[in-house]
């Protein structure tokens, strides 16, 4: 477990040094094979995020202003954002991340960790890493919105985050986006009969691209009416290439996943689906409904709990357009997968067991919302909701207390002392003591040893 209590910004001198250092890192950002952090996998995994940049501390829960998360997101230059407080951030407008090269380390927060309320987050830039943050806007703004939207972005990793209570989709990636990884996240409880102008709209994910690769692995989709996910493209080819692998889907209503666009390429591999209370009888054995005849899909090793026939022969868990010709069907169904950045694949059953214990924002602690949803999945209970009030809305999030950080470099003194660093040297955080590519503050955030190379 990480020690908590990260501190305020480095000095201006250190900031200047960090920018110079990061300039070199940024130049190599597209060629490096170093993961953003140990365990980052897939299409976006080699982004440097804010590596080598200044350390910015979130010291309050205000919507904006000095010490706020919004101020850190709007700052220019590479930056690593740490938290000196836990708690609920009530946003007055969407939190937009438009400045590139940023790492938001929710795992650094003390107390109950970080959660957004009121509005969601929009990423519209490149080289972004977000870990252990909760996006739960709810319906109180009266606006149609995703909990987390990634638009026209590249080199993005979303890891161990939790998104729920969106009034459009809950987590989407669209526009001219490419090289995006979403991993180990809980994507749950989109609000169905809520405020969307189309009526019932409790949807999980809309995933679209002109020519981009996305990796979704070890995520949980729970209690969405549909779009678990809805991948597709725009009229121009080749369109989205989605590697959707080792995910769990529970309690869909109308459709588990589907596409309605003519251009779409997907690996659909080793996913675990479990029908729930909300799942319609005629949809319980269907994992994915194919709309466009230009779809290319490789499906293998997927499991639908309680349906051994479709599990044993994955062609049966797909629904095809009516009256499709045999030749068109052959062209849709691929015998070999698309070439995509690899992940450490496991069986669908093994992935499911890990997801229901490990996915979501778990640091510094798991919140009551995810704990309840994961228990729903395990026990086969719960249902699609129309408002967050149906499940108790936002829990309390403790602010927590900080540990001493004498030089205000983002690493608590006790951690530096335990790992052979100098708690009086403000330059320690940006050094790479073991020459493994990760700076010492990254080693702290990754809970790894800066002296051993692992």
Residues 426 and 363 in one domain: no
Check whether 6 has a pLDDT greater than 60. no
Check whether 325 has a pLDDT greater than 50. yes
Q: What is the pLDDT of residues 51-66, one digit of tens each?
A: 999 999 999 999 999 9
Q: Which residues share a beta bridge with 180?
A: 156, 214
Residues 187 and 282 in one domain: yes
- What total of structural domains would you count in the chain? 2
How many helices and strands (H and E) does the chain possess? 8, 28
Residues 361 and 439 in one domain: no
Task: Say if 164 falls within a structural domain.
Answer: yes
Say how far apart CA 253 and CA 277 lie, in whole Å: 8
161: domain range? 12-32+40-391
pTM here is 0.93
Residues 195 and 288 in one domain: yes
Residues 383 and 414 in one domain: no
Domain boundary among 391, 418, 437: 391
Handedness of CA 353, 357, 358, 359 (dihedral sign): positive
Residue corresponding to tokens 């703004």: 141
Residues 247 and 313 in one domain: yes
What was the pLDDT predicted at 261? 86
Residues 279 and 418 in one domain: no
Check whether 4 has a pLDDT greater than 50. no
Which residues lie closer than 8 Å to 382 by C-beta, 6 or more apart?
Answer: 222, 223, 251, 276, 277, 372, 373, 376
Residues 379 and 450 in one domain: no
> From the centroid of its chain, how far is CA 91?
19
Check whether 30 has a pLDDT greater than 50. no
Check whether 300 has a pLDDT greater than 60. yes
What was the pLDDT predicted at 145? 96
Task: Say if 398 falls within a structural domain.
Answer: no
Check whether 445 has a pLDDT greater than 70. yes
Residues 153 and 187 in one domain: yes
**Secondary structure element (H or E) that encloses residue 310, with its range:** helix 308-312
Task: Say if 288 falls within a structural domain.
Answer: yes
Residues 227 and 347 in one domain: yes
Q: Residue 23: pLDDT band by 50, 70, 90 thresholds?
A: very low
Task: Say if 76 falls within a structural domain.
Answer: yes
Task: Say if 3 falls within a structural domain.
Answer: no
Tokens representing 201 are: 């709209």
More confident residue, 437 or 16: 437
Return mean pLDDT, the chain.
92
Residues 444 and 352 in one domain: no
Task: Give the three-class secondary structure for 378.
Answer: helix
Q: In CATH, what number is assigned to the domain containing residue 25?
A: 2.160.20.10
Residues 56 and 107 in one domain: yes
Task: Say if 2 falls within a structural domain.
Answer: no
Task: Say if 396 falls within a structural domain.
Answer: no
């Amino acid at each position: 477990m990480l020690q908590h209590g990260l501190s305020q910004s480095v000095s201006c001198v250190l900031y200047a040094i960090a920018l110079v250092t990061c300039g070199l890192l940024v130049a190599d950002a597209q060629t490096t094979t170093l993961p953003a952090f140990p365990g980052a996998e897939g299409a976006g995994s080699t982004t440097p995020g804010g590596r080598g940049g200044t350390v910015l501390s979130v010291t309050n829960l205000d919507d904006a202003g000095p010490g706020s998360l919004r101020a850190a997101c709007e700052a220019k230059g590479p930056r690593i954002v740490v938290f000196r407080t836990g708690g609920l951030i009530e946003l007055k407008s969407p939190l937009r991340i438009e400045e590139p090269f940023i790492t938001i380390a929710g795992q650094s927060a003390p107390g109950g960790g970080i959660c957004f309320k009121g509005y969601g987050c929009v990423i519209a830039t490149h080289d972004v890493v977000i870990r252990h943050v909760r996006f739960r806007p709810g319906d109180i703004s009266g606006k149609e919105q995703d909990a987390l939207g990634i638009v026209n972005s590249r080199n993005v990793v979303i890891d161990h985050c939790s998104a729920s209570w969106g009034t459009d989709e809950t987590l989407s990636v669209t526009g001219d986006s490419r090289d995006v990884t979403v991993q180990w996240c809980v994507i749950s409880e989109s609000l169905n009969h809520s405020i969307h102008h189309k009526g019932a709209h409790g949807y999980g994910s809309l995933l679209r691209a002109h020519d981009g690769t996305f990796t979704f692995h070890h995520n949980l989709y729970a209690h969405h009416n549909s779009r678990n996910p809805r991948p597709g493209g725009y009229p121009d080819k080749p369109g989205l290439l989605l590697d959707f692998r080792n995910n769990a889907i529970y309690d869909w209503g109308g459709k588990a996943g589907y596409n309605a666009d003519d251009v779409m390429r997907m690996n659909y591999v080793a996913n675990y689906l479990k029908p729930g209370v909300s799942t319609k009888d005629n949809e319980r054995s269907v994992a994915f409904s194919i709309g466009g005849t230009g779809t290319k899909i490789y499906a293998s090793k997927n499991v639908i709990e309680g349906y051994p026939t479709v599990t044993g022969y994955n062609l049966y868990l797909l629904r095809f357009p009516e009256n499709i010709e045999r030749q068109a069907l052959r062209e849709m169904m691929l015998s070999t997968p698309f070439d995509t950045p690899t992940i450490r694949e496991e069986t669908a059953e093994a992935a499911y067991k890990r997801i229901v214990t490990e996915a979501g924002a778990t640091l510094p602690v798991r919140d009551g919302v995810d704990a309840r949803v994961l228990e729903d999945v395990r026990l086969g209970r719960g249902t699609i909701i129309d408002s967050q009030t149906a499940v108790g809305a936002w829990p309390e999030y403790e602010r927590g207390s900080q540990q001493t950080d004498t030089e205000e470099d983002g690493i608590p003194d006790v951690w530096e002392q335990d790992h052979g660093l100098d708690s009086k040297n403000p330059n320690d955080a940006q050094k790479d003591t073991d020459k493994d590519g990760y700076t010492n503050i990254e080693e702290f955030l990754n809970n790894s040893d800066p002296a051993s190379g692992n």
